[in-house]
């Protein structure tokens, strides 16, 4: 008789923690000017991004003006996008100086998040408002479609009601 309530309690606790874990697994932690979760701007490779959260990403490679004939010279940008989890990773080519020559290298420059994200400071997509953002970060340095905090490396886009609809993380730059 005692086994049935104990069994049901164990099943309930397991189900509760399993569901809580599943919900947390899709939420990404946004770090201003750094990246999301274990993805770091300028350092994380395309192969790591391609397998992030074990999801499939659509790859869109951009073409640029080619000054060479090798494949590394032809592909100037790459975008990895997954609409179901709301993540887009933007890579672009930059010239890198090595000890004896210069070469182009693809680097992660920007990440856009449209779903299930929370910043280190507690701002949440779909819940936080423009007032919350301004209270935490101050007046944005750029008021375009996306309000950017350039020195912090983060930007926010809002819906018609003033609620955060997307977060953009980029390499911070000083003016």
* Mean pLDDT, contiguous 10-residue spans, the chain (175 residues): 48 41 66 94 90 89 59 69 93 72 79 95 95 93 85 94 96 81
* pLDDT at residue number 22: 39
Task: Provide the residue range defining the domain that includes 152.
Answer: 27-170
Q: Transcribe 14-72 into DSSP letters.
A: HHHHHHHHHHHHHPEEEETTTEETTEETTTS-HHHHHTGGG---EEEEEE---SSSSHH
| Position 6 in a domain | no
**pLDDT value at position 144?**
77
pTM of the model: 0.76
pLDDT of residue 77: 84
pLDDT given for residue 51 in this prediction: 86
Q: How far is CA 126 from CA 12, 47, 155, in A?
A: 29, 30, 15
Nearest to 118 by CA among 174, 52, 169: 169
- The count of domains in the chain is 1
Q: Is residue 44 part of a domain?
A: yes
The whole-number pLDDT of residue 41 equals 95
């Amino acid at each position: 008789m005692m086994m049935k309530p104990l069994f049901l309690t164990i099943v309930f606790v397991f189900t509760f923690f399993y569901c809580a874990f599943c919900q947390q697994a899709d939420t990404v932690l946004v770090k201003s000017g750094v990246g999301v979760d274990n993805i770091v701007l300028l350092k994380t490779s395309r192969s790591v991004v391609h397998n992030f959260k074990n999801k499939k990403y659509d790859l869109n490679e951009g073409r640029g003006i080619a000054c060479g004939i090798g494949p590394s010279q032809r592909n100037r940008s790459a975008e990895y996008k997954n609409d179901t989890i709301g993540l887009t990773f933007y890579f672009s080519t930059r010239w890198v100086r090595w000890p004896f020559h210069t070469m182009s290298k693809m680097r992660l420059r920007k990440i856009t998040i449209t779903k299930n994200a929370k910043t280190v400071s507690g701002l949440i997509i779909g819940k936080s408002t423009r007032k919350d953002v301004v209270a935490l970060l101050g007046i944005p340095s750029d008021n375009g479609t996306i309000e950017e905090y350039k020195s912090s490396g983060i930007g926010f886009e809002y819906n018609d009601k003033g609620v955060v609809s997307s977060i953009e993380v980029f390499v911070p730059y000083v003016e």
